[in-house]
Amino acid sequence: MNDKKISLKIISRKISIAILFIAVIIFAADCRLDNSQKAEIKPSVNREITDDLGRKINLPNEITKAVSLAPNLTEIIFAVGAGEKLVGVTSFCNYPEEATKIQEIGDTLKPNIENIIALKPQIVFVSTASQLESFTETLEKQGISVFVTNPNSFQDIYKSIEKIGEVFGNDENAKELVEALKNRVAEVENKTKDAEKVRTFVQIDKSLYTIGKESFLTDLIGKAGGVSVTKDVATAYPKISKEKAFALNPEVIILSDSSDNNEPNEVFKNSNAVKNGRVYKINADILSRPAPRIVDALEQIAKDLHPDKF
């Protein structure tokens, strides 16, 4: 009987040793498998970028799907070489031509949030803070980042271009573009630096919407060799009274060319600008969008203000 107990103990010990041995082999195999898998699988990398409102935006290392809610942002995204990443744009996004072939998600002021979410973008680009509150929370709950730009000057436009380039990993493209734009602006400023500043009124709409001190167009007029007669008016695009407009008496009027803004408001009929035939039109899209083509607008307006310098 004792011999049987001893035999059972020996057998039990051998089985335990065998199980332990097998466990060690499995553990070692698992370690080798884990190491090989780690070599093949790259960890998900997140990064943080600050938008123009100072908001911290968390993004994946690579952006493959984006939505633009403003024409100027669409232009910038294409200009930095990331147009193929756009899966949604607004009905106003008409430049470049390729943008018109991308799915529309509504207009700039009233985008269709359901359509945006269905496209599953990683990021949505917004042009103004006023668009932000209405849908940011909804998008961020879906894991979609919202990036806001808010340019009030040429320097801000350069910054927006570089930031958007950074978002897509196209930093060098963006820097080269900004450098080229800065060179063109410097050439204009150099030609007009000694010229007398021309008092200029920019008519955005015939009902007397114009530009104020917070508009990048006020900066543009200054770089073109002029001075906006409404440069000290609060906000970016104020509507002024007829009495105030009459008192301004500009030397030049710039019209943002559209079907309902093809001539100066009647209050300017006796102004120096109208009497001397110094009323100029410029394509509304080029003038109104803080994007690379704003330098085209600068060059045209500088020639209108100072034709003798070009």
pLDDT in tens, the chain (310 residues): 444 444 434 434 433 433 333 343 334 444 443 444 433 333 445 899 999 889 899 999 999 999 999 999 999 999 999 999 999 999 999 999 999 999 999 988 888 999 999 999 999 999 876 556 668 888 988 999 999 998 999 999 999 999 999 999 999 999 999 999 999 999 999 999 999 999 999 999 999 999 999 999 999 999 999 999 999 999 999 999 999 999 999 999 999 999 999 999 999 999 999 999 999 999 999 999 999 999 999 999 999 999 999 9
Count the helices and strands in the chain (H runs, E runs): 11, 10
Instruction: Indicate the pTM of the whole model.
Output: 0.83
The residues, any chain, with a CB within 8 Å of residue 196's CB and separated by 6 or more, are none
pLDDT of the residue at 135: 80
pLDDT of the residue at 2: 45
Three-state secondary structure readout of 243-276: HHHHHHCCCEEEEEECCCCCCCCHHHCCCHHHHC
pLDDT of the residue at 169: 96
The residues, any chain, with a CB within 8 Å of residue 5's CB and separated by 6 or more, are none
pLDDT of the residue at 305: 98
Do the first three CATH levels of 46-176 and 194-309 match, i.e. the same topology? yes
| Token pair recorded at residue 284 | 């509304």
Domain locations in the chain as residue ranges: 46-176, 194-309
Fold of 46-176: Rossmann fold (3.40.50)
C-alpha distances (whole Å) from 75 to each of 161, 164, 180, 241 are 10, 11, 16, 34
- Residues 23-39 as b/e (b if ≥16 CB within 10 A, e otherwise) read eeeeeeeeeeeeeeeee
Report the chain's terminal Cα–Cα distance, integer Å: 118
Q: Which helix (H) or strand (E) holds 163?
A: helix 154-167
The residues, any chain, with a CB within 8 Å of residue 258's CB and separated by 6 or more, are 284
CA 75 – CA 89 distance, rounded (Å) = 11
Whether the CB-CB separation of 270 and 263 falls below 8 Å is answered with no
Q: Which helix (H) or strand (E) holds 113?
A: helix 113-119
pLDDT of the residue at 133: 67
CATH of 194-309, one of 3.40.50.2000, 1.10.3720.10, 3.40.50.150, 3.40.50.1980: 3.40.50.1980
pLDDT of the residue at 109: 80
For CA atoms 24, 25, 29, 35, give the dihedral sign.
positive
The residues, any chain, with a CB within 8 Å of residue 265's CB and separated by 6 or more, are 203, 206, 207, 208, 242, 245
pLDDT of the residue at 130: 58
Question: Which residue matches tokens 């150099």?
Answer: 190
pLDDT of the residue at 136: 82
